[in-house]
Amino acid sequence: MSRVRGAEQHSATYYFLIDYVFPSLWYGTNIAIIYMSFKYFALVFGSLGLLLTIIAVSATAGLGWLVESGNVGAALMAPAFVCEPGDWERLAGGGGGGDGRTGNKASTSLTRSESMSASLGDDDSLPGISVLKPLCGVDSMLETNLETFFQLEYPEAKFELVFSVTEATDPALEVVRSLMVKYPKVHASIVVADPQVGYNPKLNNLIVPFDRAEFDLCLCSDSNVYAEPDLLTLFASEFDDDVGFLHQMPVVSKPGSWGAWLEYTYVNATILPMFIVGTLTPFPCVWGKSFAIRRSDVNSPHIGGLASFGNCIAEDLAISTAMHAMRLRVKLMRRTVVQRLGVWSFTQFWERSTRWLKYRKAMGVVMGGFTLEWVFYGPVIALFAGLSWAWLMGGSFVLPALSAFALLGLLAYAFVRHIDNTLAGPPSPLRFAASWIAVQALLIPMWITVMLSRRDLQWRGKAITLAPNSHLPVKKER
């Protein structure tokens, strides 16, 4: 069976490079260019960047402490997601005494182990897993991506595939039915339901299949995910008793058009470094393309079911925050998940990128300060570096600015070569350079567009408006 090279096991050195060295080089180089070459005018922006970093780190650390201790107010998080003092011991059955932390984990381990054993079959070493695939329309490469889930190497009796749509006329159903005929031995089913428990269309598509899932451990996977054959085995092995939310870092691959190349470069060379750094903060930083949770955790009295997140457009962040509040770990898997792009238009790239920016804008300083994000864009850093070099050394600023810009591009290419290690091979240097320059040129226009725009956005044909000053609950749907 054809496998992507990402499925291979790598050495500890490889993961150390990916997780720490390359992200550190990326941001360290940015900071070095700013602080080593800024003077007077440029130094002001460097100081603002440093101040923003201090505020962001302090805010995330403080928020992480508040969430863990259960004292976050309604202004930051829905009260239902926060344990009151003593609630955790009662939920876990730990009895009285102690600070609640040590005894809680022991009680939780017992409860969750019993829950796992209830879903085991003949092979007690593997838990049962329900794979939930919410669908909406036919994406590029949908059939080939979905087929990889029918080819998973996991005991047939220990997993199920549940495909869900909100409309019986959804064209994705035809694709799923053809695959079900092709792989009759795979336990697969279709759910057509639209409970409309909230304004989040994706979550509405997950509510019913999540409640009907056969197994306690559920893997929620987007429609454009390419599954490696041992995916479920890895999730089962890494979902420890103290884990509440297990997610993967997505890597986009196989761009088949100019718009796809823009998406490829933007995600791999701009978004992922920020994401990796975010995972090192005390506050949950997750990517909901492929994640696993337990129904018993979500349906506990502390949360009250998946419907509790119905008005959170960033449901992955809300769920992980709830798990963190329950003192369960939010864990990032070592294995990345591959999203094969195929053909994208420029409009698709623009709409998706600006939608993400609107999310970050709505989340405000809690998630890192959208307002001053532009200070760390490649063109801005290169321009400041060139101006300050000319100020200090004399001469034109053009060559120093271009040199700084080229350095950032080389570092971005080195990072992408290491994370995109699929059978598609490393990206073409010329195509990557062209798309990276184009993305860098679009960053500031996208930021200005979102900064001046309203909170309206489009998601798969649905118009929604984000409510202000919150973790992305939706205000209305038109």
Buried b (16+ CB within 10 A) or exposed e, 169-186: ebebbebbeebbeeeeeb
CA distance 172 to 453: 33
CA distance 126 to 454: 48
Residue 316 is among the residues annotated as catalytic for this protein:
yes
State the helix-helix crossing angle for 378-393 and 398-419, rounded to 10 degrees: 140
CB 446 within 8 A of CB 353: yes
CB 326 within 8 A of CB 294: no
CA distance 397 to 382: 10
Catalytic residue among 216, 222, 297, 316: 316
- By 3-state DSSP, what share of the chain in percent is helix, strand and coil, each rounded to 5? 55, 15, 30
CA distance 251 to 54: 29
What is the per-residue DSSP string for 340-353?
A: EEE---HHHHHHHH
CA distance 426 to 424: 7
Q: Which of 177, 163, 178 is nearest to 212 (CA)?
A: 163
Angle 364-244-251 from CA coordinates, rounded to 5°? 65
Q: Position 294: which residue type?
A: R
User: Looking at the annotation, which residues are catalytic?
Assistant: 316
